[in-house]
Amino acid sequence: MTLLGPSDVAAAAAVLEGVAVRTPVQELAPGFAVKREDLQPIGAFKLRGAFHAASRLAPERRAAGLVTHSSGNHGRALAWVARSRGVPCTVVVPDDAVEAKVEAMAALGARLVRVAADERESAAEAAVAETGGTLIPPYDHPDIIAGQGTAGAEILADRAGVEQVVVPIGGGGLISGIAAALRGSGVRVIGAEPALAGDAAASWHAGERQRWPREQVARTAADGLRSTALGELTWPHVRDLVADVVTVDEDAIADATRRLHAVGVPCEASGAVATAGWLALPPGDRDRSTVAVVSGGNVDPAWLAGVLADRTPVPTFG
C-alpha cells in the first residue's frame, strides 16, 4: 500500500477541528514531556480516528449505523460519535474487557454484543450484516490512521526541538498515524508495547508480521494493547517509518503509572506504556528531547488500586 504522509493527516485535522481537543504537551523533566491524550472528551486518543472515519462516510451510510469491535476506548469513541450524529452504534466487546470501559460504552448508548475474544471480528461482521451499518475498525483503516496521526502533527507544531516521539502499540493505528504525520521531519518514532503482547516488536525485528496467541497477550494489564498482530495496513507503516520498537514488563508499566499519577497525569496501564518505554531506553536515546504519548486515562480501578497501594517512594522523571 501507499504509506500515508503529512498531507493525509492535515486533511484529517481539518475534519477534527472543534471536535478533538488539541491536548497539551506537558513537560515533566528537562527534555521529557508527555502528550496528554487522556484529556480527550472520551479519555483517550481514539476519538480522533473514530470521528474522522465516521465523518468520511456518505450521510446515508452513516445513518444506517456504526459498528465496531473494541475492548473499550475505540468503542467508547465510536459511541460518542454516534450519539453526536444521532445514529445507532453497535460494539462487539470481548469477554476480557475491563468492566469500567464496558459500562462507559453502554452509558453513551451503544448496543453491546459480548463474545469470546477470538470471535470479536467475525461477530462484528455479523452485526454489520444484521444492522446494515458500516464497520469502523479500531485501527486498520486509512481514515483511522490519518485521524490518529493528528496527535503527532500537534506534537511537531507545539514542541520545538523534539527529537523523538515514543508511542504505545496495540494494533498500530496510533503509531502509524504519528509516523505518517512526522514523515520527513527527522523526528524519530519509537514504539513501545508490553512484553506480554510483544507481537509488534517481534514483527519489527523479524521484518515480517507476526501473530501472537490471544491467551498470551491477554495477560498484560495494558488492556488497550492486547492486539494479537499489527494490521495489514498498519504493519507497513511500522516496518518502514518506525525507528525501533521496545518492550516493557508489567512492573515497568506499573512503575510508570505510579510516576505519572504522582505528577497529576491520571493514565491507564496502556497510557503509561510509552513512558515506561522511554524509561527503558539506553542513555544515548533517552537523552534525546522526547515526547511520550499518554494514550488514555480510562483506567481499570481495581488494577490502579493495587498499583498505588505500593508505598515505595516514587522516583522523579529528572
Residues catalogued as catalytic: 46, 71
Q: Over the range 221-240, which residues count as b (16 or more CB within 10 Å of their CB) and which as e?
A: bbbbbbbbbbbebbbbbbee
- CB neighbour class for 299 (10 Å; exposed up to 12, middle 13-18, buried from 19): buried
Give CA angle at 251 (248, 295), nearest 5°: 60
E-strand ranges in the chain read 25-29, 32-36, 66-69, 89-94, 111-115, 134-135, 164-168, 188-194, 244-248, 290-294
Residues contacting residue 186 through CB under 8 Å, at least 6 positions apart: none
Backbone angles phi, psi at 296, to 5 degrees: -175, 165
Nine-digit cell string for 158: 507545539
Partners of 3 in the β-ladder: none
213's torsion region: left (phi>0), alpha (psi -120 to 50) or beta?
beta
Question: How far lies 90's CA from each of 8, 70, 219, in Å?
Answer: 28, 10, 26
Q: Please give the Cα distance from 72 to 224 (Å, whole number).
A: 7
For 75, half-sphere exposure in the C-beta direction (CA atoms, 13 angstrom radius) is 31
**For 172, which DSSP code?**
S
Which of helix, strand or coil describes residue 113?
strand
- CB neighbour class for 29 (10 Å; exposed up to 12, middle 13-18, buried from 19): exposed
Q: Over the range 283-293, which residues count as b (16 or more CB within 10 Å of their CB) and which as e?
A: eebeebebbbb
